[in-house]
Each structure stands twice: as C-alpha cells, then as structure tokens.
Structure 1
Amino acid sequence: MTDLSGTARPNPSRSRDRAGRRVGYGEGRQALLRAAVRVVARRGLRHLTYRAVAQEAGVTHGLVVHHFGSRDALIEEALAYAVRTSVSSSLLEPGSGRVEDFAAGLSELVEADPDLQAFQYELLLEARRRPELREQVRALYDGYRAATERELSRILPEDAGPALTRLVFSALDGLVLYQLTLGGAGDTDEAVGALRELLRGMAREHTEHAR
C-alpha cells in the first residue's frame, strides 16, 4: 500500500501532543503503536490511517508520518508490538507445573486489555490476504503454543506433544474470542476449570498406567 499522508515528513522536534507537550521519540513511538492497536481493535483494519492513529494517541498527524512513513510499516510494527507484549504477558506458562495455576487469570487478562486481544484476531484474518504478515502472526501463535507445551509437559508425567498442545491452546484461544464477542469472564473461568479437570484426569491416568 502507498503512503496515505500525502505530506512531507515534519521535523520530529516539533511533534507535540494535544496539550502542547513535546513528545520524545521513544515515548511517541510506543504511544502510537498502542493507539494503532486500539484503532484496529475497535474499528477494523480498514480504518487504520495516520489521522485516526494521531487522534487516538492525542498527538499531531505529523508525528505518525515521521515514525512510520507508510501504512504498511505502521501495521507491521503494531503487529510486532502485539507479539512482544502478548507473549511476554501470557499466562500460559506460570512455570509451577500445578494444574490449578494453568491459564489462571485468563478472563482477567481479556478484561484488562480487550483491544490487544481483538487486534490479534483482526490481524490473524488479515494475514490470510497479506502473506507478508503471516510470519509475524505465526511467530505470535508459535510463542503461545510453545509456552503451552512447556507448561503441559510440567503438569503431565509425559511430554504433551504437538497434537495435545494444539488442542489445549485452541480451546483457550476460543475462550478468549468468545469472551470478547459473546460471553463474559464467568464463562471463561468455568470453562478453564473444566479444562483443568481434564488435565488432572490425564495426569492421574498416566500415573496409574506407569505403576
């Protein structure tokens, strides 16, 4: 896609927010990435423009032009930001090996930042149409699955394996999507509880067969 601004890049030292405060390079970039996530999550990818992001972040339009230079760059960097933020804050791998800790707080994570979760689903669908986004989207989901597999292998007497990992992660991913669109935190908590019971049963079965 082409640059949507139609304007020359401004001097970054003149970039200010709505209150007239000077916005530093690093500070402005992170604020714009967070704003891009909110715009896509709430209005869809087709509404992601320089002006929409600037309005959402409360900064000048020129600051967005300066930092990203093209709409494609803005999309790709917002996706990279989501990858870094989501994987690092994931609750899939508490590291304790205790089934009661697995996916603890999942519903609260969705409630705390629903825009970040919705953004990921928007970009997941967009990656079907734009192959250049697939690598980063795949990295996001590979990170989720790897964390899930490591924790399941702590919970279960034998390694979880890719098939069980995909099954368990897909269940959790579906719960997040359902909570974002149709359900509530209570629905997610109840389903996670049922998933934990299944994992407990699997752990007991493995142990009994090993005797």
Structure 2
Amino acid sequence: MTAAETALLRGGPRYGEGRAALLAAAVRVGATRGLRHLTYRSVAAEAGVAHGLVAHHFGSRDALIEEALQFSLDHGVASLSSAPGSGDVSALFVGVTSWFEQDADDAVFQYELILESRRRPELRPHVERLYEAYREALRVEMKACGLPDDLNLVHLVFAALDGLVFQQVCLGQTGATEAALDQLRGLLSRLR
C-alpha cells in the first residue's frame, strides 16, 4: 500500500507526508482519468485533502504536472537496474515488470503526458526531459556494463524498452515482456 493509500484510509496524509501523497494522487488521477482531468480538486479528492492544500504546495497546475512527472520518473529510472552501477548486464531491466506491477500508474501517467504533448505543445519540454532522463540513466548503466558509450545504441535499447513497457501497459502480457527483456539482455551481453 502506498503512502497516499494509507493516508486515504486515515482520512488524509499525516504531517510531512502531504507533498508525496499529493504527487502520488496526481499521478493516479493523470493515469486513470487523463491529464485533462488533472485539477487541484481531482488531486485533492484523490488524496483526501482540501483543494487549497494542492494549490499551496504547487502554485500552478503546470508545477503540479512537472513535479508529478519527476515523482513518477524517479520510480521508473530506478527500475532500469536491480544493481545500479554494478556492471552486471543480468541486472539490467530486472525491475521493469515489477515496477509496472507495483506502480502501473507511474508508467501510464508518463504515457498520458507523452500523448497529451501532441495536443498541447507546451508539454513537450516535459516529454523531452522524461526521455533524456531515461536515456542518460540507461547510458550510465550500459557504460558500467562495459558496453560501448554510443548514444545511438542507447537510443535503440531505450526505444525497445519503451516499446515493451508500452505493450505491457496496453496488453498486460508479463511473460512476453520478461522473455523479450531476457533476449535484450542476451544481445547486450554479446556486444561487450
């Protein structure tokens, strides 16, 4: 159970948990209802607090979206390796399916933001930052594994990973995702 879910059961977040609970609620609202429904009121209702608290913490809807993206991104980037910096190719992508199973809203929120940026160009810098953060974290992990420090290779591997996560979001075929990730790790091992 997440901090925000626990807060809802208690009637709202405890002191010091408010910001994280609001960010988790924003991610859930964005994932389940889309970014167009991400408002102070919808986030407050999801978190079990007054909507003024959301405005107090974030000041603008854009700031709320930006911080919710960073909140979800932190979880996603952490799933790239089960042993960050270790150089162990077999640790790459091990946490991807478990991240999705535990925090599916993070991935769905990110895809909602990506798709909404086609309709709202002002969101594009957020999407660029999202992709850049994933590619840079992946580049660091691949370099630690002794793989070539090649931005085109990083882009290719991330595109494969991104596509697999998107299919997991849409189809929920964990077994197929795991098998494909095993194949991807095998290909990367042979490149070393």
TM-score normalised over the length of structure 1: 0.76
2: CA distance between counterparts of 1:66 and 1:35?
A: 15
Cα distance change, pair 116–22 in 1 and its aligned pair in 2 (3 A): closer
Distance 1:42 1:19 in 2: 22
Structure 1 match to 2:31: 41
Instruction: Say if 1:183 and 1:23 are closer, same or farther in 2 by CA, change over 3 A.
Output: closer
Larger Rg: 1
1:93-138: CA deviations, max 9, x gaps?
7222222111112211110100011101111122333344333332
* Structure 2 residue matching 1:103: 3-state secondary structure: coil
Q: Is 1:197 equivalent to 2:190 in the alignment? A: no
The answer to whether the 8 A contact 1:83-1:136 is kept is no
Q: CA deviation at 1:23?
A: 4.7
- 1:105 is aligned to 95
Alpha-carbon deviations, 1:29-58, whole Å to 9, x = none? 221111010001011111112221111111
The answer to whether the Cα contact below 8 Å between 1:102 and 1:196 also exists between their aligned partners in 2 is yes
- Give the structure 2 partner of residue 168 of structure 1: 157
Deviations 1:157-191 (A, max 9, x none): x5230111111111111111111111322111100
What is the count of residue pairs matched by the alignment?
185
Using the TM superposition, name which of 68-77 and 97-106 deviates more.
68-77
Cα separation, partners in 2 of 1:22 and 1:78, compared to 1, 3 Å? closer
Distance 1:189 1:71, change over 3 A: same
Which 10-residue stretch deviates more, 121-130 or 185-194? 121-130
Moved more, 31-40 or 179-188: 179-188
2:32 matches 1:77: no
Q: Output one character per residue of 1:71-114: Cα deviation in whole Å (capped at 9) or x when no partner.
A: 33322332233334433x23247222222111112211110100
> Which residue of 2 is the match for residue 11 of structure 1?
none
Distance 2:103 2:117 in 1: 22
Contact kept in structure 2, 1:127 and 1:134, CA below 8 Å: yes
- The CA distance in 2 between the partners of 1:22 and 1:110, in whole Å, is 24
Q: Does 1:182 align with 2:171?
A: yes
Gaps of 5+ in 2: 1-7
- In the alignment, structure 1 residue 27 sits paired with structure 2 residue 27: no
Any gaps of 5 or more consecutive residues in structure 1? 1-16, 204-211
Distance in 2, matches of 1:159 and 1:147, equals 15
1:7 aligns to what?
A: none
Please tell me the residue identity of whatever aligns with 2:108.
Answer: A
Moved more, 112-121 or 44-53: 44-53
Identity %: 54
Which residue identity is paired with 1:136?
A: H
Is contact 1:32–1:53 with CA below 8 Å preserved after alignment? Answer: yes
Contact residue 90 and residue 144 of structure 1 kept, 8 A: no
2:141 to 151, 157, 162: 151
The correspondence for 1:61, drawn from 46, 51, 72, is: 51
Structure 1 position 96 matched with structure 2 position 86: yes
